[in-house]
Amino acid sequence: MNKKALYTLFAVVIITSVLIASCAPKAPFAEKPYAEQEFAPMSVAAPSCDYGGVIKEIKSVDALTVEFDLCVPDPAFLSKVAFSVFSVQPKEYVEYAMADGKILEKPVGTGPYYVENWARGDSITFKRNDNYWGEKAKTQTLVFKWAAEGAARLLELQSGTVDGIDNPTPDDFEKIKSDATLQLKDREALNVFYIGMTNTHPPFDNVKVRQAVAMGIDRQRIVDNFMPKGSTAASHFTPCSIPNGCVGEEWYAFDPAAAKALLAEGLAEAGFTEPLKTTITYRDVVRGYLPEPGVVATDIQAQLKENLNIDAEIVQMESGAFIDATSSGLVGGLHLLGWGADYPHVTNFLDYHFGMNQAQFGNAYPDIYENLQKGAQIADAKEAEPFYVAANNAIKANVPMLPVSHAGSATAFRADVEGAHASPLTNESFSVMKPGERDTFVWMQNAEPISMYCTDETDGESLRACEQVLEALLSYEVGGTAVLPGLATSCDSNEDLTVWTCHLRDGVKFHDGSKLDASDVVQSWAVAWDAANPLHKGNTGAFEYMTTLWGSLINVPAE
């Protein structure tokens, strides 16, 4: 072959290589300002199990194997590790982005989408991850928007500017069902709306005052007037469809005469004169468990006056500040909050709210949390039942809050959206949805996410956004509650459920192009679990799910 022909061949090869490379999927964070490190074994461990938590040690056995050693058996382990709060990001990125807060708005995950841009106050734009290890997203672009009012969200849907909305107002359900251009997807009521009372704020440090409020609110009136069809007045804190949720005594019946008498006794003991003046604090954010927060607050205010002669001022707080204040036990008077299932197990409802380290309702109640600790270690629901009977009865006796209702809710979509669904865990997966012939799916929810470092968040708007980008070791089925493989193909336990070994998928890549290995998993857990870790920063630094679902952080400094 002569030189001219050889040069021509080289040119063809180079041009072909360039064309192939330009067509191949690229990592969206290809120009990362940190180097990918070779796998190195990593572990983090508690000094001993005396620290009060469930986890003893997390370690990488090899590049594709992570082991969790526990202090006590945990039958809910699989459901917990599937929760997106325990998602995985690259070890190198966590080290780079945690210090200056980049991680709060620009997570690097393995999910079907990545964050392209967050225009604070307006929208978040996600792009399809073409290197995704699983089934690719149906659309190239996903946009999250938000509006506080249900009527405003429905108007956007009717006008075609969005493809789906969360929590349409209950009064609009029938309107949506009768509109051929729309579709309504009912959501199972795995939630609870409650009125909280904190026992470190007088006079709610007196149990008779709390019991009087519990008897003096007509819960059925709230359900009938403000909740969608399919909602029920709560007999227990946990929905009855969850095993052991509704064992034990039912809640107090509405009895305003008995409530007034009990309130008078309690106020006298607490040194307060009638009429009691207090507050009702809430955030004006629509939730599946509370579709009309402002009007419900007004009704509770009216009931307190009518039934108990309590003068209550309504106080509205910004959502993030409200969550921070209530979770720290700083809100006096009454506060309106609720809970939607993160995973379908009684520990998700009871342990999170009434565990030993939970401060929302003030000083924790040993007769509640000691029974919860025992029940949580038993895999068989029937065998665990006596402990949950005792815990539920203790919740009723101590009245840290009044469970009001389990509310039905829904999502709504344009009629041509394929794959539309409502998740009972409120973690809708938009990668499976196809909005007709459009290549952009626009979703409108109730509020803007607080951050997208969801290891340190608890609000549903943040979690749903994170779930499009970040993945945990296991996952939940789309639109359901069954636990499925995720970044791990399986997590297997020893006989007594104290050692769990998770086997990672080989070849999974993060959005920055780096390859998933076991050290990424250990690091993602370690920065949250270890209070002494220099990267233990997050958003608030509370890491509430880590403390409430796993008992405690390690290396917590003395007060």
Question: Which CATH number does the domain housing residue 57 bear?
Answer: 3.90.76
Distance in angstroms (rounded) separating the CA atoms of residues 322 and 47: 35
Indicate if the alpha-carbon torsion angle 213, 216, 217, 220 is positive or negative: positive
Domain that holds residue 325: 191-404
pLDDT for 29 equals: 65
pLDDT tens-place string over residues 197-211: 999 999 999 999 999
Task: Assess if residue 7 is contained within a domain.
Answer: no
Structure tokens given for 31 = 């120009």
- Same domain? 215 vs 352: yes
Longest CA span, the chain: 108
Angle of the 256-270 helix axis to the 293-308 helix axis, nearest 10: 80
Strand partners, 277: 311
Task: Assess if residue 17 is contained within a domain.
Answer: no
Task: Assess if residue 150 is contained within a domain.
Answer: yes
pLDDT for 30 equals: 58
| Domains in the chain, number | 3
- Same domain? 328 vs 246: yes
- Same domain? 325 vs 416: no
Strand partners, 403: 194
- Same domain? 395 vs 439: no
3-state secondary structure of 298: helix
CA atoms within 13 A on the CB side of 230: 15
- Same domain? 246 vs 350: yes
Task: Assess if residue 18 is contained within a domain.
Answer: no
CATH number at 130 reads 3.40.190.10
- Same domain? 84 vs 161: no
Task: Assess if residue 293 is contained within a domain.
Answer: yes
Distance in angstroms (rounded) separating the CA atoms of residues 547 and 349: 14
Q: Cα 194–196–199 angle (5° rounding)?
A: 155
Written as tens digits, the pLDDT of the chain (559 aa) is 554 444 444 444 444 444 434 444 556 665 688 989 999 999 999 999 999 999 999 999 999 999 999 999 999 999 999 999 999 999 999 999 998 899 999 999 999 999 999 999 999 999 999 999 999 999 999 999 999 999 999 999 999 999 999 999 988 999 999 999 999 999 989 999 999 999 999 999 999 999 999 999 999 999 999 998 889 999 999 999 999 999 999 999 999 999 999 999 999 999 999 899 999 999 988 888 998 899 999 999 999 999 999 999 999 999 889 999 999 999 999 999 999 998 889 999 999 999 988 899 999 999 999 999 999 999 899 999 999 999 999 999 999 999 999 998 999 999 999 999 999 999 999 999 999 999 999 999 999 999 999 999 999 999 999 999 999 999 999 999 999 999 999 999 999 999 999 999 999 999 999 999 999 999 999 999 999 999 999 999 999 999 989 999 999 988 6
Task: Assess if residue 298 is contained within a domain.
Answer: yes
pLDDT for 12 equals: 41
Strand partners, 492: 501
- Same domain? 203 vs 177: no
- Same domain? 495 vs 370: no
- Same domain? 223 vs 146: no
For the chain, give the mean pLDDT: 93
- Same domain? 329 vs 458: no
Q: How many residues does the chain have?
A: 559
Of the residues 387, 404, 421, which one is the last residue of a structural domain? 404
CATH number at 262 reads 3.10.105.10
φ and ψ at 386, to 5 degrees? Answer: -55, -35
Identify residue 200 by its one-letter amino acid code. Answer: T
Exposure string of 429-445, with b = 16+ CB inside 10 Å and e = fewer, is: bbbbbbbeebeebbbbb
φ and ψ at 523, to 5 degrees? Answer: -65, -45
DSSP state of 287: B
Task: Assess if residue 333 is contained within a domain.
Answer: yes
Distance in angstroms (rounded) separating the CA atoms of residues 112 and 309: 54
- Same domain? 182 vs 277: no
Query: In Å, what is the CA distance from 111 to each residue of 155, 181, 294, 499?
Result: 31, 31, 36, 27
- Same domain? 207 vs 331: yes
pLDDT tens-place string over residues 105-157: 999 999 999 999 999 999 999 999 999 999 999 999 999 999 999 999 999 99
Task: Assess if residue 505 is contained within a domain.
Answer: yes
